[in-house]
Chain A
């Protein structure tokens, strides 16, 4: 149990917090999350922190615009792997591939203008890499079960 918590902190929460900070500190404040922050009274604090840190000037564009694609796919894949007790088998693999599938689907929807956003081939690639790296992490920390794909 203790080990599971460590894995969640390392491979799920830490990347998600990092990805969340990228959004909060670098992305335009026209994102919906800024409306949510406003509703809970944090919009001013975030505006001040954004002005003070000016992280956009420090980070490369790919970190700001592409890395979140890898981060959330990786985190969700690992989280699902933990939920499935680190097993990669016929049952779990379908579920474990959902994050990458959803990511790729979102890019296709952006390309066809079905949803908001700009199609980016690098994002598409990173959704797949995020899923694969998540599976590799599950495999590498799977000390109980054999890697047994179908």
Chain B
């Protein structure tokens, strides 16, 4: 009986590792697309340009990893200005002029189960 359990545990361990190895299989198709966007900061607002030929739908814009603005649709080739006060953290605190933007990211839906991602840093 004890030996049977040992064999069973061995099969489970091997199965678990095969499952993990399967996760490292490369299907050749990335589900995340690097966005060709550009973002600049004017002092009171962000100027965001979609340089791609497709729209950034349901975009989540994030400043410094904490301050977020959700639900934006950025049309292909268009430029948008977004005031810094529109960004808020999870507690509802708004981004203020006293804070320095250092990181900016965009995460959006692109359809076909793909997402777009953009990331920039300022020193």
CB within 8 Å of B: which residues of A? 16, 20, 23, 27-36, 38, 43-44, 47-48, 51-52, 68, 72, 75-76, 79-80, 83-85, 91, 95, 98-99, 102, 106, 115-117
Q: Are A83 and B13 in contact (CB under 8 A)?
A: yes
Q: Are B115 and A38 in contact (CB under 8 A)?
A: yes
Chain A residues with CB below 8 A from B25, complex form: 31-32, 115-117
Q: Are B31 and A38 in contact (CB under 8 A)?
A: yes
Can you pick out 7 interface pairs between chain A and chain B where the beta carbons lie within 8 Å of each other? A20-B20, A23-B24, A28-B30, A31-B24, A51-B105, A72-B20, A99-B17
**B21 nearest CB neighbor, chain A only:** A72
Q: What's the minimum C-beta distance from A90 to chain B, rounded to whole angstroms?
A: 13
What's the Cα separation between A29 and B30 when bound, in Å? 5
CB within 8 Å of A: which residues of B? 3, 6-7, 9-10, 13-14, 17-18, 20-32, 60, 62, 65, 103, 105, 107, 115, 117, 119
Known interface pairs A44-B107, A76-B14. Does A33 touch B115 (Cβ–Cβ under 8 Å)? no
Interface centre among B3, B10, B21, B107 (most CB of A within 10 A): B10
Q: Are B27 and A76 in contact (CB under 8 A)?
A: no
How many A-B pairs have beta carbons closer than 8 Å: the answer is 93
Chain A binding surface SS class: helix
Chain A residues with CB below 8 A from B21, complex form: 72, 106
Q: Are B10 and A83 in contact (CB under 8 A)?
A: yes
Q: What's the minimum C-beta distance from A81 to chain B, rounded to whole angstroms?
A: 10
Q: Are A32 and B32 in contact (CB under 8 A)?
A: no
What's the Cα separation between A20 and B6 when bound, in Å? 26
Other-chain residue from A20, A30, A36, A75 in contact with B30 (beta carbon distance below 8 A): A30
